[in-house]
Amino acid sequence: MSEQSQNDKFELDAVPAVRITDTSLKVGTAILWLGCLVFIDTLIISWHCSQERRRLQNELGSLESKHAELTDLFERRQDARSRVQKDRQVIEQFIGLCRDATDVPNWECDRIVSSSMNMENTAVYVPAGQHVLTVVARWKSKDSATSAKPENHQAWKIPLLGKSGYWFEVLTESKNAVEWRLSGNHPDFRAQGGSLPFQTFSDRARHGINPIKYPNEVENTAEAILNPLKLPPPSVKVFNLQFDAQNEHRKIEVDFDVLIESDGPPIVPASKAGELLSLRNVPRLWNVGDGKYGWDVGSYRKDQ
Amino acid sequence: MKISLRGLIVTAMVIAGALLAMSAYNDIRRDHQRMAQLQEEINQLERSLMITNPRRIEILHHELEEFASVQSIRDQAVQHAQLIREKYSHVDARGPDTFSFRSVPSGLAKTGMHSFEFRLIVPENRQIWLKLAVHTVDDQVASEESFDRKTNFLKVSSLTDSGPFQIQLPPGEHLLAICEQTSQDRWTVISLNLGERKLFESKYYQSQSGISSSSNSATEQLDFAPDATLPWLLTSYFPLDPTNSPTQTTTAYSVWLSNTQSEFGVPEGRTR
């Protein structure tokens, strides 16, 4: 009996043990499936991630190429901007070395090159094309210094031959007049001159002049933008002198300018064209090559 | 504790999957960060280049063309400068008693460099003295003779070596160069060179940039007989107080030539 009861006990004890193993198996299997599902999910997520990455890589590639392009443009512009200042100084120094028209080289360029390093003379180069040099003196009495308008003026217009060098000088040795003389390095150009009826002069001054200009370059774009209706005919200034003089016992102030008017439209260099684009009423500019734009001032005036 | 094989497999798969997903997520996050960084840099570049208009890019390229053409003009100027220098450098000898002189275009100086050059022919039968002295700006160079007689030269100034000095020039043809080289640290070195030989060197400090000077600009050859007064060469202004601006200069040094010997010293390292 006791043995049987012991066996019963054993059987009773054995049944729950078998049940526990089944449950564990089911749970284990479930966990395995769950694990597989999680794994598959992560695989799917990874695949999506890799797709997303591929898309991002494409976007990154295009951003990187845009970045590289802009960086290259920025660096080239920085280098060019710092170099152009030095280049201008060298050209200005070179003009200072010239002592007459024969020293002016026939540059292979489309610019007017000149520099007013001193108050007596300047070398000028004009490129191919039609150009007219204007010498203009404006004067007014020193007593009427408050009046902005000059009382009198005298002007000379001299057609120039393109692709030639010139030497402009102001001669002050004469006690009765201030004389100017223009000579050229072209064999067909005859030297010319003129005189102003001033007896003496003193207190001279001059404004700095950009040594390299495109023909008809709009030098003061800011002023041109502000007062497009008051723009004078396109020209560039190559020499400037301000002095006090005496005319028939009257003290006068004289503004003496030498300008060159060329055929063609007003020109805006590319380095200044960007400023015009920021205007509300953007002027019509068209690329005329070699880093310059033509400015349709007529249409701009009509638009205003 | 019993660890089943299936449990191990599941755990490994989940961990592997999690690692894979985390790695992919990190890659995406890194890409996003890089994109944001690139976009920020692109925005900065666009602001610097002021690209507010699509035409602006086109204009920027044309701007580079504009600057390239300036460089081409500069290159031509550098070549032609040498021709001009050769054209105006020649001086003819006029005999054993005549001193000949001409100012030579100095060529294209480096940034911060001012150079004044003169071609001289020192005759065999004469003593020619090159002199340098520091003086106040009130003492304008009336003539080298009056300078020779002056006794109130400044022996102390902001020049490290103020002189007055004199050097007898040897007979023969020479290129005399007076150079002023201002460096980044605002020291200006003055040197007098006869051909390859350095005759004198001194320097001064100036807190602001800018040099004012006037020099003899004899573009044609000038000849001086034994009784003629020899030419003044250069007066260059510099501030007594280094903190003053170049327009507030009160002192200058002058260089001139003379037929007569003065009671001046000789530059350091040279014998009379």
Radius of gyration for chain B, computed over Cα atoms and rounded to the nearest angstrom: 34
Could you tell me how many residues make up chain A?
A: 304
Set of chain B residues whose Cβ sits within 8 Å of the Cβ of A60:
31, 34-35, 38
DSSP secondary structure of B144-201 = HHHHHH-----SSSSSSS---EEEEEPSEEEEEEEEEEE-TTSEEEEEEEETTEEEEE
pTM of structure? 0.72
Q: Which of B17, B73, B109 sits opposite A93 (nearest CB)?
A: B109
By the 10 Å C-beta count (0-12 exposed, 13-18 middle, 19+ buried), A200 is classed as: middle
Q: Collect all residues of chain A within an 8 Å Cβ-Cβ radius of residue B80.
A: 94, 105
- Ranges of residues in chain B with a pLDDT under 70 are 1-3, 52-53, 107, 109-112, 138-146, 207-211, 240-249, 268-272
Please list the alpha-helical segments (H only) found in chain A.
2-97, 221-226, 270-277, 297-303
A contacts of B56 (beta carbons < 8 Å)? 274, 277
ipTM, 2 dp = 0.74
| The pLDDT of residue B234 | 85
In whole angstroms, what is the distance from residue B184 CA to residue B201 CA? 18
Chain B contact for A111 (CB, 8 A cutoff): yes
Return d(Cα B183, Cα B189) in angstroms, integer.
8
- Distance from C-alpha of A293 to C-alpha of A285, rounded to nearest angstrom: 6
How long is chain B? 272
Which pLDDT score is estimated for A124?
A: 92
Map tokens 């007014």 to a residue: A140
β-strand pairing of A152-160 with A164-171: unpaired
- For residues A102-107, give the mean pLDDT: 88
Q: What is the pLDDT of residues B120-146, one digit of tens each?
A: 999 988 889 898 888 877 655 555 556
Check residue A1 and give its pLDDT.
Answer: 43
Torsion angle, alpha carbons of B226, B229, B231, B237, to 10:
150
- Structure confidence at residue B90 (pLDDT): 87
CA angle A279, A283, A286 (to 5 degrees): 130
**Is the backbone peptide bond immediately before B267 cis, with ω within 30 degrees of 0?**
no
Average pLDDT over residues A205-231: 75
* Distance from the A58 Cα atom to the nearest Cα atom in chain B, whole angstroms: 11
From B6, which residue of chain A is nearest by alpha-carbon distance?
A32
| pLDDT recorded at residue A167 | 93
A43 touches chain B (CB under 8 A): yes
Q: Which of B57, B61, B84 sits opposite A98 (nearest CB)?
A: B84
Yes or no, beta carbons of B35 and A41 under 8 Å apart: no
What is the distance between the alpha carbons of residues B198 and B193, in angstroms, rounded to a whole number? 4
Task: Convert the pLDDT of each residue in B181-220 to its tens digit.
Answer: 888 788 888 888 888 888 888 888 876 666 677 777 788 8
Asked if the C-beta of A296 comes within 8 angstroms of chain B's C-beta atoms, the answer is no
DSSP state of A248: T
Compute CA distances A72 → A82, A304, B13, B35, B56, whole Å: 15, 38, 48, 19, 15
Q: How far is B32 from chain A (nearest CA, A)?
A: 8
Contact A108 B72 (CB under 8 A): yes
- Return d(Cα B89, Cα B205) in angstroms, integer: 33
> Per the CB < 8 Å rule, is A109 touching B73?
yes
Q: Could you give phi then psi for residue A275, rounded to 5 degrees?
A: -60, -40
Q: pLDDT tens digits, residue range A51-73?
A: 888 888 898 899 899 889 888 88
- Among chain A residues, the shortest Cα distance to B15 is held by A39
Nearest Cα residue in chain A from B14: A39
| Cβ contacts of A259 within 8 Å, gap of 6 or more | A133, A134, A136, A235, A236, A237, A238
Check CB contact under 8 Å for A67 and B85. Answer: no
Q: Mean per-residue pLDDT for A248-258? A: 82
Report the distance separating Cα B272 and Cα B269, nearest Å: 10
Say whether A270 and B65 touch across the interface (CB within 8 A).
yes
CB B202 within 8 A of CB B190: yes
Interface contact A73-B4, CB threshold 8 A: no
pLDDT at A164: 94
Q: pLDDT band for position A158 (50/70/90)?
A: very high
Number of inter-chain CB pairs under 8 A, A vs B: 197
Name every chain A residue with its beta carbon within 8 A of the beta carbon of B6.
28-29, 31-32
* Spatial contact of B50 and A74, defined as CB atoms under 8 Å apart: no
Separation of alpha carbons A89 and B216, rounded Å: 23
- Phi/psi at B35 (nearest 5 deg)? -65, -40
Please identify among residues 88-107 of chain A the ones whose CB lies closer than 8 Å to any CB of chain B: 88-91, 93-94, 97-99, 103, 105, 107
